[in-house]
Structure 1
Amino acid sequence: MDNELNNDIIELIDEDGNEVDFELISSFELDDTRYAVVAPVDSDSDDAYILRVEQDENGEDIFVGIEDEDEFNDVVEAYNELMEEYDCDCCDDDGDHDHDNE
């Protein structure tokens, strides 16, 4: 998939050659690999996609679908754990989780 990054909007080219705008929801690293969570801009659904972030020969970020089922499952699990940390409601928005000090 080709892409163009503009603020938090990523333009991806699908397999049919259509340009589709996605909003960058989140990005994170797992095992030294970057991943991005994106959602279609022009959609009423709550669909989101996790893509691996790689670099092309010019050093530009490209977004690649995750085809390996084991990698995909590991990435989804890591993302869910990350979101649980942010949704724990135990901190005062300072990043210090009260349960981390126990």
Structure 2
Amino acid sequence: MSEHNHEHGENCGCGHDHEHEEHVFIVTNDEGEEREMVMVYTFESEDNVYAVLLDRQDPEQDGVIFRIEEENEEAFLVGIEDDEEWDRVAAIYEEIARTENEGKE
């Protein structure tokens, strides 16, 4: 997975309100290690909602994109296994990030 490296902070313009409570998730990677991930951005594509999460301990590391699914009024994160879906949402996020970075210059 490769996503855009985006520095987040009070004035980063990513759409996330950094003044309010962080949305923190515990995510287990392929090696079974648990990481605290912070949701920094959400966007929609083809009737699905996606979240971009950054490692809370290493925010300089590339973000990870998950699909948000709801069941019985409870939301949870789902990894994107389908290559076509992954390519589509990664391209959308890269365009969002590129547009935001151009606005800062």
Fold shared, TM-score > 0.5 on shorter chain: yes
Identity of aligned residues (%): 27
TM superposition shift of 1:31 = 1.2
Query: How large is the RMSD of aligned CA atoms in angstroms?
Result: 2.7
Note if contact 2:22-2:38 (Cα within 8 Å) is conserved in structure 1: no
**Aligned structure 1 segments of 4 or more residues deviating by more than 6 angstroms:** none
Asked whether 1:27 is paired with 2:27, we answer no
Correspondent of 1:41 among 49, 56, 70: 56
- 1:63 equivalent in structure 2: 77
Other structure's SS at 1:47 match = coil
Report the structure number with the largest CA radius of gyration. Answer: 1
CA distance in 2, matches of 1:7, 1:46: 18
Q: Give a deviation string over 1:75-97, Cα, whole Å, max 9, x none.
A: 0001111122222228xxxxxxx
Aligned counterparts, 1:1-102, within 5 A: 7-13=22-28, 19-43=34-58, 46-56=61-71, 58-89=72-103
Task: Summarize deviations over 1:11-66 as a string: whole Å, max 9, x none.
Answer: 3355777643101121100111100011111237513210000012x211100000
Higher RCO (C-alpha under 8 Å, 6+ residues apart) = 2
TM-score of the superposed pair, with normalisation by structure 1: 0.67
- Unmatched runs of 5 consecutive residues or more in structure 2: 1-20
**What TM-score do the two structures reach when normalised by structure 2?**
0.66
